Every structure is written in C-alpha cells, then in structure tokens.
Amino acid sequence: MSILVDKNTRLLVQGITGNEGDFHTRQMVAYGTKVVAGVTPGKGGEWVLNGKIPVFDSIRLAVNARGANVSVIFVPARFAADAMFESADAGIPLIVCITEGIPVQDMMRVRNYLDQKGVRLVGPNCPGLLTPGEAKVGIIPGDIAIPGNVGVVSRSGTLTYEILYALKQENMGVSTCVGIGGDPVNGTNFVDCLEMFEEDPNTEQVVLIGEIGGSEEEKAAEFIADRMTKPIAGFIAGQTAPPGKRMGHAGAIIEGGSGLAADKIGALEMAGVQVAQHPEEIPGMLK
C-alpha cells in the first residue's frame, strides 16, 4: 500500500525534451514508473527515449490519447505556472512540480486555482515522490530506499535522501516518501501527508523532516496531538541558523522571532514526537 503514487500511476512529463526532463525521465523509466507521454509545445509528434514515449503539444491531447493521471513538471520557472494551469484544466488530479524559483505571486494564483479545481499539487521546488518498488515521480534516487511500512514526509530534499538511506542501511523500508518542498507558497503540506499516512493501513510509522521558517511544523504538531495514532520520529534542520539568514529554501528563514527551530522541536515533542538531534538517529528511534 502507498499514498499518491503506485504501480498504477500513468505519468506525463511536462518539459520532457529539455535536459532536466530528459535525464529524469530516463531515471523514472529505468525505475519502472509508467511514463506514458511527454508534453513540449511545438514538438508534438516526436518520440523520445528511442521511440518509447510520444510527445504531445498539449496536456489535453496527451491525457486523451494516453490516459495520464499524474503530471510532473520540469519546465523553467517562467513557464511553470502556465504548466500547472494547463494540467489542471486537462483534468490531471495530481501535479508534481519540481521547478524551483517560481515567483510567490505566481504560486498564489496557481494555488487558488488548483484549490477551486480540487487538484492536488506536490511542490514546487521539491524532489517529488517515491513509492519504493512501485513508482518514482521526480528526482529522488530510486536505489536509496526499499519497500516497507515507514511513511516519510519532508521539506528538505537532501535530508530526505540521507534519512531514506539511513533507513535502508538498517533494513527498514518505506511505504511512500513525499518531498513537499520548502517554498513559502506550495501545495500539499505536512498535515495533508500525515492524514494520508494515518489512513494508510500499510504505513505503521512516520518520519517528519522539517526546517526553520514558517509554522507548518507547529500545525503538524497540533494535528499529531489530536489525530495521529501512529508513532512519529522527526528532525528539524537549521537549528544553528542565525535570525534573518535564509537556509536553503525560500521559506526557510527566521523572521520576527517566528520560525525558530526550538519552537518547532518543542511543539513536536509536546505532541509526542521523538525529535532527533542528528538525522542518523532516526532509524534507532523507530526501532
């Protein structure tokens, strides 16, 4: 069992003919993900990956011809908002946006539109999704995790990889890993993922990887205290970050005394979460 993506996912790649799109499409196909189509306006009718995947001019054409039900976006930031609008209009229920550097105002418009349409967005500026042994949508390396019962949700890309590999080293598998991204305005959040993991019968434990900035971890702590029955281990990145210094993501900045690591750790611990001082401690906490 998994959340969001599995062996039945039929993936469409927006920007498949660009360098990033081409490279990561090859990785996703090699992992076993069903990549059924690509979209690059003006290149409809072409085929990529040695004639294996057809390219279309529009999302609607690709959906109608190939039955895609998830899209992943690798287009440049200036085109990303339109790419998300187009996917939503074509009836794609799940959009994963890898692109970073999208203006906040663009994302505010996108988020409002997708909410009205009932479309789920993961990202932007995120590593995507990995359901080990079933599907990889995005840029998470497929060989650093094995199938299992630990759900992982993270704002950080590289820390996600580190913790997935640490779990694998201890022979602990993952149901699904969701990289939600760290931009100030994004789609799926911690609470959304925690709710899905709580309802997933094959997810027995959860890892939450947060970072300084914003209040998403505090909101997650409230949800955990009220609704979660499954054990959770966590880690907060940026514990030594000075105020006013952005650490990694656009949303990872302490402003006006809010977004402090200590506050997030305190809230999570009050909710019963074991919070690690170092990422490599997490497998031991779950055991």
Structure-token pair, residue 127:
């590593």
pTM: 0.95
Of 106, 146, 145, the residue nearest 123 (C-alpha): 106
Residue 249 a catalytic site member:
yes
HEC letters along 112-157: HHHHHHCCEEECCCCCEEEECCCEEEECCCHHHCCEEEEEEEECCH
Q: Say yes or no to pLDDT of 248 above 80.
A: no
pLDDT tens digits, one per residue of 88-140: 999 999 999 999 999 999 999 999 999 999 999 999 999 999 999 999 999 99
Integer angstrom CA distances of residue 154 from 29, 39, 65: 24, 28, 34
Kindly state the average pLDDT of the residues 48-59. 97
* pLDDT (mean) for 184-211: 97
Q: What is the DSSP secondary-structure string of 189-248?
A: -HHHHHHHHHH-TT--EEEEEEESSSSHHHHHHHHHHHH--S-EEEEEE-TTPPTT---S
Q: Which helix (H) or strand (E) holds 64?
A: helix 59-66
Q: For residue 247, what pLDDT band results from cuts at 50, 70 and 90?
A: low
The helix/strand/coil state of 47 is: strand
Confidence of residue 157 (pLDDT cuts 50, 70, 90): confident
Q: What is the mean pLDDT of the chain?
A: 94
- From residue 84, give the alpha-carbon distance in Å to each of 40, 53, 109: 14, 21, 11
As given in the structure block, the two tokens for residue 191 are 């609470």
Domains and their CATH numbers in the chain: 10-122 (3.40.50.720), 140-286 (3.40.50.261)
To the nearest 10 degrees (0 to 180), the angle between helices 59-66 and 77-89 is: 50
Catalytic residue from among 24, 66, 136, 249: 249
Q: pLDDT at position 257, please?
A: 53
**pLDDT at position 243 over 80:** no
Kindly state the tokens that stand for 73.
Answer: 């976006």
Identify the three-state secondary structure at position 275: strand
Tokens coding 280: 């490599």
